[in-house]
Structure 1
Amino acid sequence: MIDPLAEVVTLLQPGARFSKFVLGASPWRISRSNAGQPFYCVVLEGRCRIAIDGHESLELLPSDFVLIPAAYGVAMSSLEPPPPGIETPAPIALGNGEYRIGAPDGPIDVRMMAGHCSFGSPDASLLVSLLPQFVHVRGEQRLATLVDLIREESREQRPAREVVLSRLLEVLLIEALRSMAGTNASPGLVRGLSDGRLAVAIRGMHEHPTHGWTVAELAKEAALSRSTFFERFNRAVGVAPMAYLLAWRMALAKDLLRRNEGRVAEIAQRVGYSSASTFSVAFTRHVGRPPTQYARDEQRAAGR
């Protein structure tokens, strides 16, 4: 059975960019703009607060895991932050990827791992739009263990280091996202898959992207009326069913074109279009470039 969540994460091509071990001594406050970069952190000991993209702050407990697929503003602080206007000194590098922040002589009251990963897919913004804006998982030791493995691997220069890191990050992202099933996730693929009826339709689209799906047929798969299915899908996933199907077909097509996996006519059939011309029109409208030009540009950029 096709797993839509695993497919999206695999297409994202996650890679390790930067991670650090942070020791905090109250009071402290740090904030930064991440320009849409994926950010994650896990609290190993103690407690702290995090505020994401201007939302209300959230208290983090030991083993709490936070993932932001596209972060623009992240602020973290001790439970009792410094008074307004008092700047926290820059973190002090202790070596070996460890940093200390806050009172220079105070006791350490929080330990956490924080880091950035990167998404290698040129289509990352589309795929990220299918994920929740913010993932907060509490009490999942598996996630803390995975972060420890990533930290250890990133510090060593072992053979196949990048391959191992990319696989660990894939597992980390899938584990974090599936841990949200059944929770109040923001609209996106995870929330759609947590709805048993919608999940059947979503899996159908991923399993058979070449099929000529209609809203009525997808509603039948989900055992819902057409209007109920359309409204429920739109509310849970954040886009209409046909818009989701188009986005997924285009993501698949772009991946096949980048990897030079056949002629345009062959790729058109593999993503559900009966003719190369129909596919080319849809692709050009969606991407802004004809498929042949897109393939040529991407392969040139990759040095192939």
Structure 2
Amino acid sequence: MLDPLADIVTMLRPRAVFSKQVVAYAPWRVHRAEAGRPFYCLMLEGQCRLEGEGQAAIEVQTGDFVLIPEAQQFVMSHDAAGLAQDGAQERAQGGARVACEPVQLAEGVFRLGAATGAASARFLVGYCAFETPDAPILVSLLPRLVHVRADPRLAMLVQLIRDETGAHRPAREVILNRLLEVLLIEGLRGATEPSDTGLLRGLADHQIAIALRGMHEAPAQAWTVRELARAAGLSRSAFFDRFTRLVGVPPMEHLSNWRMALAKWLLRDNVPIARVAERVGYSSPATFGTAFRKRVGMSPARFARAETASASSVGDSGQA
């Protein structure tokens, strides 16, 4: 693993949940409350307004792609009229509701609105799940919302995911999961406006990107803030302040998070504990075990056994 963005997406272990096509007739408006599920949308025709929780509304136009790595509450509508007033009214009434109930037209196809006149928008939406228990730490490094203008590669990937979701071909789950990984990477690296903090903001800064790539290329190296600053061509204090401001956490905290995420990934892959300790920069299995137990709440061996049992359980249920 050499690229921080690819590392994060791979370790999130994205899994397809479902996707659907929506045909919308104005006026329409949908307010969704999600339990932190990753959400994506590709606008095939027309346009709409999308407002994530605590964020300004954006115009989503034909060909645009939107990714919310950890969706909580968001609103999609044909325009912004009454958006703030309606949202305040819903919150006062005690939570989220669907202002415009979808009507199923066919398998995987839904309608919004009264179907009078021409459709104002047609789009593909989908949800996925991140199967790693470290998802909160890894997702915190990603933007809250990604908006990419008219990218044909993303359009092709979303269509492939939709086609594969509706098919029942051999190795369907494997194909879907790989397509999702590529979709997430393409969407994240295509973001024109990186978030205030996080991995993309750090990678957009040439000097901080050098330090990030160094940590991910060589997690076993005995990095210090001084050595990372030297690699980035900055003074120690300037590097520390700049890294923390851009990435959102101090350099050594990011390194520690990355090492533990990598350790869990290796343990799930049945790599021997001594080898894992060496790969993530600990002087001995005992030292690694102490740090792992303090961070995770169980020994590396117990964690590996639990992950193996969980994977076997999922495999057995899938065969049933």
TM-score band, normalised by shorter chain: over 0.9
CA contact (8 A) 1:26 1:81 kept: no
- Measure how far apart 1:139 and its partner are: 2.4
Task: In structure 2, list runs of 5 or more residues that go unmatched.
Answer: 91-97, 314-320
- Measure how far apart 1:25 and its partner are: 0.5
1:179 matches 2:190 = yes
1:124 matches 2:124 = no
Secondary structure of the 1:211 match is coil
CA gap of 1:259–1:270, structure 2 versus 1, over 3 A, is: same
Which residue number in structure 1 is paired with residue 47 of structure 2? Answer: 47
Structure 1 segments of 4+ aligned residues over 3 angstroms from their partners: 80-89
CA gap of 1:133–1:80, structure 2 versus 1, over 3 A, is: closer
**Identical positions, percent:** 52
1:284 matches 2:293 = yes
1:210 matches 2:217 = no
CA contact (8 A) 2:31 2:99 kept: no
1:25 matches 2:14 = no
- Measure how far apart 1:288 and its partner are: 2.1
Which residue number in structure 2 is paired with residue 273 of structure 1? Answer: 282
Which residue number in structure 2 is paired with residue 251 of structure 1? Answer: 261
CA contact (8 A) 1:20 1:115 kept: yes
Q: Greater shift after overlay, 288-297 or 131-140?
A: 288-297
Q: Choose between structure 1 and 2: higher helix proportion.
A: 2
Which residue number in structure 1 is paired with residue 245 of structure 2? Answer: 235
Whole-angstrom distance in 2 between the partners of 1:155 and 1:73: 27
1:99 matches 2:137 = no
1:302 matches 2:311 = yes
Whole-angstrom distance in 1 between the partners of 2:145 and 2:245: 17
CA deviations 1:132-164 (Å, max 9, x no partner) are 111111122211121111111111112221111
Which residue number in structure 1 is paired with residue 95 of structure 2? Answer: none
CA contact (8 A) 1:265 1:276 kept: yes
Whole-angstrom distance in 1 between the partners of 2:32 and 2:311: 31
Whole-angstrom distance in 1 between the partners of 2:270 and 2:181: 24
Whole-angstrom distance in 2 between the partners of 1:111 and 1:81: 20
Which residue number in structure 2 is paired with residue 133 of structure 1? Answer: 144
CA contact (8 A) 1:20 1:113 kept: yes
CA gap of 1:89–1:75, structure 2 versus 1, over 3 A, is: closer
Which residue number in structure 2 is paired with residue 223 of structure 1? Answer: 233
How many residue pairs get matched?
302
Whole-angstrom distance in 2 between the partners of 1:176 and 1:76: 20
Secondary structure of the 2:312 match is coil
- Measure how far apart 1:88 and its partner are: 4.0
The letter for the 2-side match of 1:6 is A
Secondary structure of the 2:169 match is coil
CA deviations 1:87-136 (Å, max 9, x no partner) are 74411111031111012324201011111011122222222122111111
CA contact (8 A) 1:13 1:120 kept: yes
Q: How does 1:146-185 map to 2 (within 5 A)?
A: 146-180=157-191, 183-185=193-195
Whole-angstrom distance in 2 between the partners of 1:286 and 1:198: 26
1:67 matches 2:67 = yes
CA contact (8 A) 1:48 1:76 kept: yes
CA contact (8 A) 2:194 2:200 kept: no
CA deviations 1:236-290 (Å, max 9, x no partner) are 111100000000000011111122211x232111110001222122212222222
Secondary structure of the 1:37 match is coil
Whole-angstrom distance in 2 between the partners of 1:249 and 1:115: 31
Q: TM-score, normalising length from structure 1?
A: 0.94
